[in-house]
A = this chain, B = another copy of it.
């Protein structure tokens, strides 16, 4: 049983030197900046490399594909958002309200950089098995954000299912909005609709909060 480390984005292989960490940061920043300008298509590996001041081969050493790069960018942004959200938690009375409020807040943040959101979400849903670990990390981050908003410290299996469904709705609604097939109002309705599921699994209804 290998003692898996806790917050594990990197496979823990070599502890990056300072200059390497800096390179990584430059690459992620360049990626986010290009994405914010022109979306998925504008994130061209040659341009990212140039903007970050590294050689193309180096870029590929750090991120083995464009998808990996953009998913890592999303990880980065999500972490940022999670921190921000924790500073000002949602104020709603019941969990469903708080989750809906949180997601809509996140949604408005994405609205400010729709092209960046487009690039990240497209990469996320286009990712194949080779990116599973990274996508999974993003998923766990999202789950953490939702559970935070619910105030569920020890979620039961039912609650986890509900959270998964909320995540599904969140991602898919985002996609339909990004591709211009749904309005913001509609996304809001969908989010609020799915959040009603939370009330169905209020503690006591099916999952006893004891133990664990």
Please give the residue numbers on chain A whose beta carbons come within 8 Å of chain B beta carbons, in ascending order: 40, 122, 125-129, 131-132, 135-136, 139, 158, 161-162, 164-165, 167-169, 171-173, 175-176, 179-181, 186, 189-190, 193-194, 196-197, 200
Q: 5 new A-B pairs (CB below 8 Å) besides A127-B179, A165-B190, A193-B197? A: A40-B128, A122-B128, A129-B180, A168-B194, A169-B172
Q: Closest CB-CB distance, A75 to chain B, in whole Å?
A: 15
Copies of chain A in the complex: 2
Q: Report 9 cross-chain contacts, Cβ distance below 8 Å, ordered by A residue.
A: A122-B126, A125-B125, A132-B181, A139-B181, A171-B172, A172-B172, A193-B197, A194-B194, A196-B200
Contact B165–A169 (Cβ < 8 Å) = yes
Contact A179–B122 (Cβ < 8 Å) = no
Contact B126–A181 (Cβ < 8 Å) = no
Q: How far is the CA of A196 from the CA of B201 in the complex (A)?
A: 11
Residues of B within 8 A of A176 (CB): 139, 168
Among A136, A180, A181, A186, max chain B CB count under 10 A is at: A181
Contact B180–A132 (Cβ < 8 Å) = yes
